[in-house]
Structure 1
Amino acid sequence: MAQRRALVVRGGWEGHQPVRATELFIPFLRHHGYAVRIEESTEIYADAAAMAATDLVVQCMTMSQITPEQVAGLNAAVVAGTGLTGWHGGIVDSFRASSEYLHLVGGQFATHPGQQPEARCGGEGDNFLPHTVTITDLGREHPITAGIEDIDLVTEQYWVLHDDLIDVLATTVHPTRDWHPWHRPVTSPAIWTRLWGAGRVVVTTPGHSLDVLERPAVRTVIERGMLWATRTASVS
């Protein structure tokens, strides 16, 4: 069996520590027999030969810009069978101006609701709320999340705009609070998969900081997602 090839694309907003975050998972990929290539920009997406030889893209690129040629190259690779995965803003808050990218991934970060105004002090903790990532019935049977219990977190809780072509493995509920303008609880997908052509996309929205990524349940979901999304995945 040919060696599987993983492409780690990282960069963008430094608040998500793209280098340190991806370095948590590169040993896992190598341990599972992947040849790992690391790129600090999305230029590689426009290289058709390189993308055709890639079995898995692990993207950690918050916000940033992407050219039409680059997003077209990424899309073509996924359609042809290359897997795409990532966590938090590195995949679901990437390239906000690219509708083609949003169409590929199937969901877009809209906001992370904050604490009550009088409790805010101007730091990132203003947006840290206790919440639960609840595994769905589908998630309890899916190889990525089977056996994972609901995950309680105190961190950013992503509100996601999405379509119904995604297969939701876990959700999170944004409750009503006096200082927020919505009038009923809102459920957002927190972990999902998407079949796109011959390719597989996996999105995990928890992962704002290293301590969240190091939580055993979150880390397991991300690692299983890498294997499942890979063109020559060992799980199905």
Structure 2
Amino acid sequence: MKVLVVRGGWDGHRPVEATEMFLPFLTANGYQVTVSATTAVYADPAVMVATDLIVQCVTMSEIDRAEVAGLRAAVAAGTGFTGWHGGIADSFRASSDYLQLVGGQFATHPSKEPGACGGDETDNFLRHRVDLTALGREHPITAGLDDFELTTEQYWVLHDDLCDVLATTTHPVRPWHPWHRPIVSPAVWTRQWGSGRIVVTTPGHSLDVLANPNVRTVIERGMLWATRTASAS
């Protein structure tokens, strides 16, 4: 099995260190790992047709038309596609074709009470719960896990009905925020695109969150589940 790890974009999500955390797991499970620091590889048909899984960690950034077309074609043909946090759910904001492929787009991460904010990234670190859905309690990626809590960015995600949601998180009503009822966002979802499987996990802002046993389990199981050989089974 061949896995292509594509990393780059905004340095705040530490794409090199974050992806390196999962390379031993991939190697131990029999994957031949290729790492790319650019999305240009998506436009190389020879590479893409031979790739069974793509792990992407590229926050924001831009992607050209040929690259996103190559990515979409590969997934439709059976290549798995997965990632976490902004590396997949906040990539290539200007590409509607990419957003349609992934099915969910980061909108915001609500902040603490203004008086408690100090002007750094922890202003957006909130204690919140990730709740498994009925589907999530049975799905191979999340079966056997319980609802769990994290203190980190809580992603508010815009999404569509092609997503099969395995876990959600709820943004409560607070006096300093302008919404008037709780908002439920998907926290983990899968998506079928042609013959390919997509898995998105929204927690993963920092290395400590990726090391959380629940988060790491979801990401690692998602890699296995999305892989082309799994999709063909």
Give the TM-score normalised by structure 2.
0.99
- The question of 1:201 aligning with 2:212 is answered no
Counterpart selection for 1:145 from 138, 142, 151:
142
Unaligned runs of 5+ in 1: none
Counterpart selection for 1:123 from 120, 123, 138:
120
1:5-84 matches, within 5 Å, as 5-84=2-81
1:90 corresponds to which letter in structure 2? Answer: G
SS at match of 1:178: coil
The residue aligned with 1:186 is 183
Residue-by-residue CA offset, 1:74-131 (whole Å, 9 max, x unaligned): 0000000000000000000000000000000000000000001110000000000010
1:204 corresponds to which letter in structure 2? Answer: T
- Give the Cα–Cα distance (whole angstroms) in 1 for the partners of residues 148 and 81 of structure 2: 23
Q: Aligned residues: percent identity?
A: 71
User: Quick check: 1:142–1:169 contact (8 Å CA) kept in 2?
Assistant: yes
The residue aligned with 2:213 is 216
Counterpart selection for 1:164 from 161, 170, 176:
161
1:234 Cα deviation after fit: 8.6
- Give the Cα–Cα distance (whole angstroms) in 1 for the partners of residues 5 and 70 of structure 2: 15
1:155 Cα deviation after fit: 0.3
SS at match of 1:141: coil
1:151 Cα deviation after fit: 1.5
- Give the Cα–Cα distance (whole angstroms) in 1 for the partners of residues 176 and 105 of structure 2: 23
1:233 Cα deviation after fit: 2.1
2:41 corresponds to which letter in structure 1? Answer: I
User: Quick check: 2:78–2:231 contact (8 Å CA) kept in 1?
Assistant: no
1:27 Cα deviation after fit: 0.6
User: Quick check: 1:144–1:224 contact (8 Å CA) kept in 2?
Assistant: yes
1:235 Cα deviation after fit: 10
RMSD of aligned Cα (Å): 1.0
User: Quick check: 2:136–2:143 contact (8 Å CA) kept in 1?
Assistant: yes
1:165 corresponds to which letter in structure 2? Answer: L
User: Quick check: 2:196–2:231 contact (8 Å CA) kept in 1?
Assistant: no
2:108 corresponds to which letter in structure 1? Answer: T
| Number of aligned residue pairs | 233
Give the TM-score normalised by structure 1.
0.98
User: Quick check: 2:55–2:81 contact (8 Å CA) kept in 1?
Assistant: yes
Residue-by-residue CA offset, 1:156-185 (whole Å, 9 max, x unaligned): 000000001000000000000000000000
